Homo-oligomer: A and B are copies of this chain.
Amino acid sequence: MLAPDYHFAVRRLRHHFIDAMTAHLDAVLDMPAFADPADQTRGAALRAATVGLHEVDAPDQDEDVPDLYFALQRELERDHGETVGLIRVGLSRNDLDMTVYKMHGRELLLTQARSLLGLRRSLLNRAEMHLETVIIANTHHQPGQPTTVAHYLAAVEAQVARDHERLVQALERLNRCPLGAAALAGTSHPLDRQRTASVLGFDGPVENTYDAVASADWELDLAAVASSIALGLGRFVVDLLGWASHGWYRLDDGLVQGSSIMPQKRNPVALEHARTRLSRVVGSAGLVAFSHHNIPFADLNDFGPDIQGALLVQHRQLMGALELVVACLEHGEFDEDGLKKAAALTDTTATELADVLAREAGLSFPAAHKLVAALVSKFQAEGRPLTTATPDDLVACGGPALSAETISAALDPLAFVSRRDGLGMPAKTAMATQLAAAGHRLAAAEEALQARDAAFDLATTRLRAGAAPISG
């Protein structure tokens, strides 16, 4: 019944178990009751052996000791006999397990964070390359207005950056240590919970000991963050698939697949696989929700051993999807020429013509809008693109006399973009400013993540070396 849990624990949780047991043993040996030199000596030997478990393979599962915690203890018993009991003073599987699951959860979050940063970097790099690549942006599935690939990609990056913020907030909320809660009511042994938390890299203990073992809302955060990332990126992937179907975005050969029957095929399967992985990430959030639903507020298997696998499934799908999206970005090309030709055939600069009529010919915007709409309608009936409009056409629709230059400048897609140079708009200079700012934000996020990583690594190194905890 518990074989999959054991297997999971061996593969993913073993080092966390050993570290948490080590930290707890230190807390036990710090108690006055074990100040006796003999106890300290035996305890130090046990500690060394516990740390030594990192280097040996995990024991196989045994019917008598169904979980890894007991299996590790049995390993230690061979040389240390009853001394091993020190580890169990004031410790329950309840607080130990939840601590270990949280250590694993923060590892997942950190891994995801690194991947998100890589994606953000790719998006900004690609944006830099397309400051003047005009693309017709759809609204409501219809050609809307010209903008640039840089503008679009920077918008995607901004969304991913918010997901990154969500992730960091989730990590900070998670990072409190349950140890010392024992079964739920704490313990009558005077264990120093602050110290244990600190040496394991936590920002402090979960204060209320019942809360420490009965709640696992950090799992909901993991699921929600992954789901938000997946829903956002899924929309980007839908666009890439759409552009690929027009030939406006072309993936490298390594990311496409042929057909067994249709010789002409070059299917962008990497994008399809990314889409379904993202769909599975969103679906996995449901797995987590159901595990927390309508159960008592108490220590239970539901959000303990039984859900860690689902969190890992979601993590892997997310990581796989992120990898594919980055690959599709790094190994794909926009067809600038094709995009340009397509832009010229649309009527998507109509807004600017109305703006010019409002600004330079004194029409109210609604009147200008109505005039241009009539013009577009007439041209469509005649099969003419709006970019061919002349001063006479405008007058014929009841409009004012504008110069040919004014009209053609208003209707040119690149000019449309260049005139939009306010905060966050696609004009080249505005975009350069925006990308520079985004680059700085990203660099700061990269530094913060490295600092987090380094702090966790340092805590682990010091713990295993038996160094004193860093005060504060």
Residues of B within 8 A of A279 (CB): 287, 290-291, 293-294, 302
In the bound complex, do residue A301 and residue B272 qualify as a contact, i.e. CB atoms below 8 Å apart?
yes
B183 A261 Cβ-Cβ under 8 A: yes
Most chain B CB neighbours (cut-off 10 Å) among A169, A213, A425: A425
Q: Give the interface residue-count category, chain A.
A: 35 or more
B residues near A151, Cβ cutoff 8 Å: 185, 208-210
Q: At the interface, yes or no: A140 with Cβ under 8 Å from chain B?
A: yes
Interface of A, secondary structure class, is helix
Please, what's the 1-or-0 string for A351-364, where 1 marks a CB less than 8 Å from any CB in chain B? 11111001100001
- State which of A102-110, A238-246, A453-461 sits at the interface with chain B: A238-246
Q: In angstroms, how far is the closest chain B Cβ from the Cβ of A143?
A: 8
What 0/1 readout, one digit per residue, does chain A (95-136) give for beta carbons within 8 Å of chain B?
Answer: 010000000000000000000000000000000000000000
Q: Within 8 Å of chain B (Cβ to Cβ): is A343? A: no
Kindly state the separation between the CA atoms of A152 and B210 in the bound complex, as whole angstroms: 6
Assess whether A440 is interfacial by the CB under 8 Å rule.
no
Which chain B positions have C-beta within 8 A of A331? none
A387–B298 Cα distance when bound, in Å, is 24
Question: A93 in the interface, Cβ–Cβ < 8 Å?
Answer: yes
Given contacts A210-B137, A239-B297, contact A159 B217 (CB under 8 A): yes
Pair B264/A350 contact, Cβ less than 8 Å: yes
Chain B residues near A324: list those with CB within 8 A.
1
7 contacts between A and B (CB under 8 A): A155-B210, A209-B425, A264-B376, A276-B307, A279-B302, A280-B291, A283-B290
Cα-based distance from A416 to B366 in the complex (angstroms): 51
Check A261 against B142 for contact (C-beta < 8 Å). Answer: no
**Which chain A residues numbered 293 to 324 have a C-beta less than 8 Å away from chain B?**
293-302, 306-307, 310, 313, 324
How far apart sit A419 and B289, CA to CA, in the bound complex (Å)? 36
Among the stretches A7-15, A47-55, A224-232, the one at the interface with B is A224-232
Against B, the Cβ 8 Å flags (1 = close, 0 = not) of A415-439 are 0110110111110000000100100
Tell yes or no: A200 within 8 A of B by CB. no
B302 touches A354 (CB 8 A): no
B residues in contact with A188, CB < 8 Å? 352, 355, 359, 419-420
Interface status of A84 (Cβ within 8 A of chain B): yes
User: Which among A189-197, A444-452, A464-472 touches the partner chain?
Assistant: A189-197
Q: How far is the CA of A146 from the CA of B425 in the complex (A)?
A: 42
For A265, what are the chain B residues with a Cβ–Cβ distance below 8 Å?
Answer: 139-140, 142, 144
Contact B359 A297 (CB under 8 A): no
- Asked whether B262 lies within 8 Å of A293 as measured between CB atoms, the reply is no
Residues of B contacting A90 in the complex (Cβ-Cβ under 8 angstroms) = 355
The reply on A332 being an interface residue by CB < 8 A is: no
* A1 to B257 CA separation, bound complex (whole angstroms): 11
A93 to B152: give the CA distance in the assembly, Å. 20
B184 touches A144 (CB 8 A): yes
The A365-417 residues at the B interface (CB cut-off 8 A) are: 365-367, 369-373, 375-376, 386, 416-417
For residue A212, give the distance in angstroms from its CB to the closest CB of chain B.
Answer: 7
A301 touches B183 (CB 8 A): no
CB distance from A97 to the nearest CB of B (A): 10
- Chain B's nearest CB lies how many Å from the CB of A337? 12
The answer to whether A299 touches B140 (Cβ under 8 A) is yes
Q: Which residues on the B side are within 8 Å of A143 (C-beta)?
A: 245, 264
Chain B proximity mask over A159-173: 1 for CB below 8 Å, otherwise 0:
100110110010001
When C-beta atoms are compared, the residue in chain B nearest to A281 turns out to be B290
Nearest Cβ in chain B — how far from A384, in angstroms?
13
In the complex, are the beta carbons of B296 and A147 less than 8 A apart?
no
Contact for A158 among B211, B270, B419, CB less than 8 A: B211
List 19 additional contacts besides A238-B294, A282-B290; criterion CB under 8 Å: A92-B260, A93-B261, A94-B139, A138-B245, A139-B262, A144-B183, A163-B217, A186-B420, A188-B352, A193-B422, A207-B437, A209-B424, A263-B371, A264-B346, A269-B301, A276-B306, A279-B290, A283-B286, A283-B291
